[in-house]
A and B are shown apart, each in its own frame.
Chain A
Amino acid sequence: MDVSTNQVLSVLDEVLGLGGRSASFGRDTRLLGAIPELDSTAVVWLLARLEEHFGIVIDDDTDGLTFATGGNLADFVGAKLAA
Protein backbone atom coordinates (compact mmCIF):
# COMPACT_ATOMS: atom_id res chain seq x y z
CA MET A 1 0.00 0.00 0.00
CA ASP A 2 1.22 3.43 -0.91
CA VAL A 3 1.23 5.73 2.03
CA SER A 4 0.99 9.38 1.15
CA THR A 5 2.52 12.08 3.27
CA ASN A 6 -0.97 13.57 3.40
CA GLN A 7 -2.43 10.46 5.01
CA VAL A 8 0.26 10.43 7.69
CA LEU A 9 -0.12 14.16 8.31
CA SER A 10 -3.90 13.82 8.66
CA VAL A 11 -3.35 11.29 11.45
CA LEU A 12 -0.91 13.74 13.06
CA ASP A 13 -3.50 16.51 12.69
CA GLU A 14 -6.17 14.45 14.42
CA VAL A 15 -3.94 13.28 17.28
CA LEU A 16 -2.56 16.73 18.02
CA GLY A 17 -5.89 18.51 17.46
CA LEU A 18 -4.40 20.83 14.84
CA GLY A 19 -7.81 21.52 13.31
CA GLY A 20 -6.66 21.14 9.72
CA ARG A 21 -3.40 23.09 10.06
CA SER A 22 -1.53 20.15 8.60
CA ALA A 23 -3.11 20.83 5.20
CA SER A 24 -0.22 23.21 4.57
CA PHE A 25 2.44 20.73 5.77
CA GLY A 26 4.56 18.68 3.40
CA ARG A 27 7.58 16.38 3.32
CA ASP A 28 9.92 19.18 4.32
CA THR A 29 7.82 20.51 7.20
CA ARG A 30 9.67 20.26 10.50
CA LEU A 31 7.60 18.45 13.12
CA LEU A 32 9.39 17.53 16.39
CA GLY A 33 10.65 20.71 17.98
CA ALA A 34 8.69 22.93 15.62
CA ILE A 35 5.13 22.00 16.55
CA PRO A 36 4.49 22.81 20.22
CA GLU A 37 1.67 20.26 20.46
CA LEU A 38 4.09 17.45 19.60
CA ASP A 39 5.47 16.70 23.07
CA SER A 40 6.52 13.32 24.49
CA THR A 41 2.96 12.41 25.54
CA ALA A 42 1.70 13.30 22.11
CA VAL A 43 4.38 11.08 20.55
CA VAL A 44 2.98 8.12 22.51
CA TRP A 45 -0.53 8.85 21.21
CA LEU A 46 0.76 9.41 17.69
CA LEU A 47 2.54 6.04 17.62
CA ALA A 48 -0.61 4.34 18.89
CA ARG A 49 -2.78 6.03 16.28
CA LEU A 50 -0.37 5.29 13.42
CA GLU A 51 -0.34 1.61 14.43
CA GLU A 52 -4.10 1.48 14.49
CA HIS A 53 -4.63 3.50 11.34
CA PHE A 54 -2.20 1.58 9.14
CA GLY A 55 -2.20 -1.80 10.90
CA ILE A 56 1.54 -1.71 11.65
CA VAL A 57 3.58 -2.48 14.79
CA ILE A 58 6.10 0.05 16.06
CA ASP A 59 8.47 -1.25 18.72
CA ASP A 60 11.61 0.45 19.98
CA ASP A 61 12.68 1.47 16.51
CA THR A 62 11.88 5.16 16.56
CA ASP A 63 14.14 8.04 17.48
CA GLY A 64 14.09 11.81 17.21
CA LEU A 65 14.80 11.64 13.49
CA THR A 66 11.61 9.66 12.81
CA PHE A 67 9.55 12.69 13.76
CA ALA A 68 11.90 15.35 12.42
CA THR A 69 9.95 16.07 9.23
CA GLY A 70 6.73 15.08 7.47
CA GLY A 71 8.79 13.15 4.93
CA ASN A 72 10.73 11.22 7.58
CA LEU A 73 7.52 10.15 9.27
CA ALA A 74 5.82 9.16 6.01
CA ASP A 75 8.89 7.15 4.94
CA PHE A 76 8.98 5.41 8.32
CA VAL A 77 5.33 4.35 7.97
CA GLY A 78 5.87 3.37 4.34
CA ALA A 79 8.80 1.13 5.30
CA LYS A 80 6.69 -0.58 7.95
CA LEU A 81 3.93 -1.28 5.45
CA ALA A 82 6.37 -2.66 2.93
CA ALA A 83 7.94 -5.00 5.50
Chain B
Amino acid sequence: MNKSRRMVALQARAFAAAGTDVLLLDLLGCGDSSGDFADADWERWIDDLLTACRWLQARSSGALWLWGLRAGCLLAADAARQLDTRCDFLFWQPTPSGKTVLQQFLRLKLAGEMLAGAGKPTMENLRRQLAAGAAMDIAGYQMSAALALALERSTLAPPLAPGRLEWIELSNRTGDELLPASLPVLERWRAAGFVARAHALRGPAFWQTTEIEEAPGLLSASVAAVLQSPA
Protein backbone atom coordinates (compact mmCIF):
# COMPACT_ATOMS: atom_id res chain seq x y z
CA MET B 1 0.00 0.00 0.00
CA ASN B 2 2.92 2.30 0.68
CA LYS B 3 3.63 3.26 -2.92
CA SER B 4 -0.05 3.83 -3.57
CA ARG B 5 -0.79 6.30 -0.79
CA ARG B 6 -0.24 9.34 -2.95
CA MET B 7 -2.66 8.25 -5.71
CA VAL B 8 -5.22 7.14 -3.16
CA ALA B 9 -5.02 10.44 -1.27
CA LEU B 10 -5.32 12.42 -4.52
CA GLN B 11 -8.32 10.35 -5.54
CA ALA B 12 -10.06 10.73 -2.20
CA ARG B 13 -9.68 14.51 -2.49
CA ALA B 14 -11.01 14.41 -6.05
CA PHE B 15 -14.08 12.49 -4.86
CA ALA B 16 -14.56 14.93 -1.97
CA ALA B 17 -14.36 17.88 -4.35
CA ALA B 18 -17.10 16.21 -6.38
CA GLY B 19 -19.31 15.94 -3.30
CA THR B 20 -18.63 12.35 -2.28
CA ASP B 21 -17.77 11.31 1.30
CA VAL B 22 -14.71 9.06 1.38
CA LEU B 23 -13.25 6.99 4.21
CA LEU B 24 -9.74 5.64 3.66
CA LEU B 25 -8.75 3.02 6.13
CA ASP B 26 -5.57 1.40 7.33
CA LEU B 27 -6.31 -2.22 8.12
CA LEU B 28 -5.01 -3.93 11.25
CA GLY B 29 -1.24 -3.94 11.21
CA CYS B 30 -1.02 -1.54 8.27
CA GLY B 31 -0.14 2.13 8.02
CA ASP B 32 -1.13 4.12 11.06
CA SER B 33 -3.43 1.50 12.49
CA SER B 34 -2.60 -0.46 15.62
CA GLY B 35 -1.56 -4.06 15.67
CA ASP B 36 1.29 -5.99 14.17
CA PHE B 37 1.18 -7.05 10.56
CA ALA B 38 2.12 -10.50 11.82
CA ASP B 39 -1.25 -10.61 13.63
CA ALA B 40 -3.23 -9.65 10.56
CA ASP B 41 -5.61 -12.13 9.08
CA TRP B 42 -8.34 -12.00 6.47
CA GLU B 43 -11.26 -12.28 8.90
CA ARG B 44 -9.99 -9.44 11.08
CA TRP B 45 -9.48 -7.33 7.98
CA ILE B 46 -13.03 -8.06 6.89
CA ASP B 47 -14.20 -6.95 10.37
CA ASP B 48 -12.23 -3.73 9.94
CA LEU B 49 -13.87 -3.15 6.58
CA LEU B 50 -17.37 -3.83 7.93
CA THR B 51 -16.74 -1.48 10.87
CA ALA B 52 -15.61 1.17 8.40
CA CYS B 53 -18.78 0.71 6.33
CA ARG B 54 -20.99 1.11 9.38
CA TRP B 55 -19.07 4.19 10.48
CA LEU B 56 -19.45 5.82 7.10
CA GLN B 57 -23.09 4.87 6.65
CA ALA B 58 -23.90 6.43 10.03
CA ARG B 59 -22.51 9.74 8.80
CA SER B 60 -23.29 9.81 5.12
CA SER B 61 -26.25 9.01 2.92
CA GLY B 62 -26.32 7.76 -0.62
CA ALA B 63 -24.98 4.68 -2.29
CA LEU B 64 -22.17 2.80 -0.57
CA TRP B 65 -19.17 2.02 -2.75
CA LEU B 66 -16.31 -0.24 -1.81
CA TRP B 67 -13.12 0.94 -3.50
CA GLY B 68 -10.30 -1.56 -3.79
CA LEU B 69 -6.80 -1.50 -5.19
CA ARG B 70 -5.23 -4.79 -6.29
CA ALA B 71 -5.75 -7.44 -3.58
CA GLY B 72 -7.95 -4.96 -1.74
CA CYS B 73 -10.60 -5.81 -4.33
CA LEU B 74 -10.51 -9.43 -3.15
CA LEU B 75 -11.08 -8.27 0.41
CA ALA B 76 -13.89 -5.92 -0.64
CA ALA B 77 -15.76 -8.66 -2.52
CA ASP B 78 -15.41 -11.07 0.39
CA ALA B 79 -16.51 -8.46 2.95
CA ALA B 80 -19.53 -7.45 0.86
CA ARG B 81 -20.96 -10.93 1.37
CA GLN B 82 -21.40 -10.01 5.04
CA LEU B 83 -22.91 -6.58 4.51
CA ASP B 84 -26.63 -6.33 5.05
CA THR B 85 -26.94 -3.63 2.42
CA ARG B 86 -26.25 -3.80 -1.30
CA CYS B 87 -23.15 -1.95 -2.41
CA ASP B 88 -21.32 -0.91 -5.55
CA PHE B 89 -17.67 -1.50 -6.38
CA LEU B 90 -14.79 0.53 -7.78
CA PHE B 91 -11.84 -1.72 -8.54
CA TRP B 92 -8.42 -0.42 -9.47
CA GLN B 93 -6.25 -3.03 -11.21
CA PRO B 94 -8.05 -5.89 -9.48
CA THR B 95 -6.21 -9.15 -8.91
CA PRO B 96 -8.88 -11.78 -9.60
CA SER B 97 -6.89 -14.58 -8.05
CA GLY B 98 -5.61 -14.48 -4.49
CA LYS B 99 -3.52 -17.52 -5.43
CA THR B 100 -1.66 -15.43 -8.00
CA VAL B 101 -1.09 -12.63 -5.47
CA LEU B 102 0.32 -15.10 -2.95
CA GLN B 103 2.47 -16.56 -5.72
CA GLN B 104 4.21 -13.18 -6.12
CA PHE B 105 4.96 -13.02 -2.40
CA LEU B 106 6.31 -16.59 -2.40
CA ARG B 107 8.43 -15.84 -5.45
CA LEU B 108 9.85 -12.74 -3.72
CA LYS B 109 10.72 -14.93 -0.76
CA LEU B 110 12.34 -17.54 -2.99
CA ALA B 111 14.44 -14.90 -4.70
CA GLY B 112 15.48 -13.54 -1.29
CA GLU B 113 16.45 -17.00 -0.03
CA MET B 114 18.43 -17.80 -3.15
CA LEU B 115 20.32 -14.52 -2.83
CA ALA B 116 21.07 -15.42 0.80
CA GLY B 117 22.54 -18.69 -0.44
CA ALA B 118 19.95 -20.91 1.24
CA GLY B 119 20.22 -23.82 -1.18
CA LYS B 120 17.49 -24.17 -3.77
CA PRO B 121 14.12 -23.74 -2.08
CA THR B 122 11.03 -24.39 -4.13
CA MET B 123 7.48 -23.11 -4.28
CA GLU B 124 6.44 -26.57 -3.15
CA ASN B 125 8.51 -26.27 0.06
CA LEU B 126 7.12 -22.84 0.83
CA ARG B 127 3.53 -23.99 0.35
CA ARG B 128 4.14 -26.95 2.64
CA GLN B 129 5.47 -24.60 5.32
CA LEU B 130 2.37 -22.45 5.03
CA ALA B 131 0.05 -25.45 5.17
CA ALA B 132 1.85 -26.50 8.37
CA GLY B 133 0.99 -23.11 9.86
CA ALA B 134 4.41 -21.46 9.74
CA ALA B 135 4.48 -17.70 9.36
CA MET B 136 6.67 -16.37 6.60
CA ASP B 137 9.11 -13.50 6.56
CA ILE B 138 8.84 -11.84 3.18
CA ALA B 139 10.87 -8.73 2.43
CA GLY B 140 10.73 -7.75 6.09
CA TYR B 141 7.01 -8.41 6.61
CA GLN B 142 5.80 -11.29 8.74
CA MET B 143 2.89 -12.87 6.94
CA SER B 144 0.87 -15.29 9.04
CA ALA B 145 0.00 -18.63 7.49
CA ALA B 146 -3.68 -17.88 8.12
CA LEU B 147 -3.48 -14.69 6.08
CA ALA B 148 -1.58 -16.38 3.27
CA LEU B 149 -4.03 -19.28 3.05
CA ALA B 150 -7.10 -17.03 3.16
CA LEU B 151 -5.59 -14.86 0.45
CA GLU B 152 -4.90 -17.95 -1.64
CA ARG B 153 -8.55 -19.01 -1.40
CA SER B 154 -9.95 -15.65 -2.42
CA THR B 155 -11.30 -15.53 -5.95
CA LEU B 156 -13.06 -12.18 -6.48
CA ALA B 157 -16.45 -13.90 -6.55
CA PRO B 158 -19.37 -11.50 -6.90
CA PRO B 159 -21.56 -11.05 -3.80
CA LEU B 160 -25.21 -12.08 -3.98
CA ALA B 161 -26.83 -8.64 -4.13
CA PRO B 162 -26.07 -7.22 -7.56
CA GLY B 163 -25.12 -3.59 -8.06
CA ARG B 164 -22.61 -1.64 -10.13
CA LEU B 165 -19.02 -2.50 -10.82
CA GLU B 166 -16.52 -0.04 -12.25
CA TRP B 167 -13.31 -1.87 -13.15
CA ILE B 168 -10.27 0.19 -14.11
CA GLU B 169 -6.90 -1.10 -15.34
CA LEU B 170 -3.76 0.88 -16.04
CA SER B 171 -0.90 0.05 -18.32
CA ASN B 172 1.63 1.52 -20.67
CA ARG B 173 1.37 -1.38 -23.10
CA THR B 174 0.62 -0.58 -26.70
CA GLY B 175 -3.05 -1.15 -27.48
CA ASP B 176 -5.21 -0.26 -24.51
CA GLU B 177 -6.97 -3.52 -23.87
CA LEU B 178 -8.07 -5.22 -20.70
CA LEU B 179 -5.93 -8.09 -19.45
CA PRO B 180 -7.10 -11.41 -20.94
CA ALA B 181 -7.32 -12.74 -17.36
CA SER B 182 -9.92 -10.08 -16.52
CA LEU B 183 -12.48 -11.00 -19.15
CA PRO B 184 -13.92 -14.20 -17.60
CA VAL B 185 -14.14 -12.46 -14.21
CA LEU B 186 -16.13 -9.57 -15.66
CA GLU B 187 -18.38 -12.12 -17.33
CA ARG B 188 -19.00 -13.77 -13.97
CA TRP B 189 -20.02 -10.49 -12.34
CA ARG B 190 -22.34 -9.64 -15.24
CA ALA B 191 -23.88 -13.09 -15.09
CA ALA B 192 -24.52 -12.45 -11.39
CA GLY B 193 -26.55 -9.36 -12.34
CA PHE B 194 -23.97 -6.63 -11.93
CA VAL B 195 -23.90 -3.66 -14.29
CA ALA B 196 -20.18 -3.78 -14.98
CA ARG B 197 -18.10 -1.28 -16.93
CA ALA B 198 -14.44 -1.94 -17.58
CA HIS B 199 -11.93 0.74 -18.54
CA ALA B 200 -8.35 0.25 -19.76
CA LEU B 201 -6.37 3.46 -19.27
CA ARG B 202 -2.87 4.56 -20.10
CA GLY B 203 -0.74 5.08 -17.02
CA PRO B 204 2.01 3.72 -14.78
CA ALA B 205 1.60 0.77 -12.42
CA PHE B 206 1.95 3.24 -9.55
CA TRP B 207 1.48 0.56 -6.86
CA GLN B 208 4.80 -1.01 -7.80
CA THR B 209 6.96 1.59 -9.56
CA THR B 210 10.41 2.24 -8.16
CA GLU B 211 9.70 5.93 -7.68
CA ILE B 212 6.33 7.23 -6.50
CA GLU B 213 4.38 7.98 -9.67
CA GLU B 214 1.05 9.55 -10.42
CA ALA B 215 -1.59 8.56 -12.93
CA PRO B 216 -3.59 11.75 -13.45
CA GLY B 217 -6.00 10.25 -15.97
CA LEU B 218 -7.12 7.76 -13.36
CA LEU B 219 -8.38 10.52 -11.06
CA SER B 220 -10.92 11.99 -13.44
CA ALA B 221 -11.81 8.58 -14.86
CA SER B 222 -12.65 7.24 -11.41
CA VAL B 223 -14.83 10.20 -10.48
CA ALA B 224 -16.65 9.93 -13.80
CA ALA B 225 -17.04 6.16 -13.46
CA VAL B 226 -18.67 6.43 -10.06
CA LEU B 227 -20.74 9.58 -10.52
CA GLN B 228 -21.97 8.97 -14.05
CA SER B 229 -24.43 6.10 -13.99
CA PRO B 230 -24.36 3.74 -16.92
CA ALA B 231 -27.06 4.58 -19.49
User: Which A residues have a C-beta under 8 Å from some C-beta of B?
Assistant: 1, 7, 10-11, 13-14, 20, 23, 40-41, 44, 47-48, 51-55, 57-60
Contact = CB atoms under 8 A, between A and B. Distances in A.
Interface in B79-103: 95-97, 99-100, 103
Interface majority SS (helix, strand, loop, mixed), chain B? helix
Nearest to B182: A55
B180 A54 contact: yes
A54 B100 CA distance: 11
A54 B173 contact: no
B181 A55 contact: yes
Contacts of A14: 171-173
Contact of A44 (B97, B108, B180, B181): B108
A37 B103 CA distance: 23
B173 A55 contact: no
B175 A53 contact: no
Interface majority SS (helix, strand, loop, mixed), chain A? helix
Contact of B103 (A20, A51, A53): A51
A1 B180 contact: yes
B104 A48 contact: yes
A11 B181 CA distance: 13
Nearest to A23: B174
Q: Identify the 3 closest CB pairs spanning chains A and B, nearest first.
A: A55-B181, A59-B123, A48-B104
Contacts of B103: 48, 51, 57-58
Contacts of B107: 44, 47-48
Nearest to B180: A54
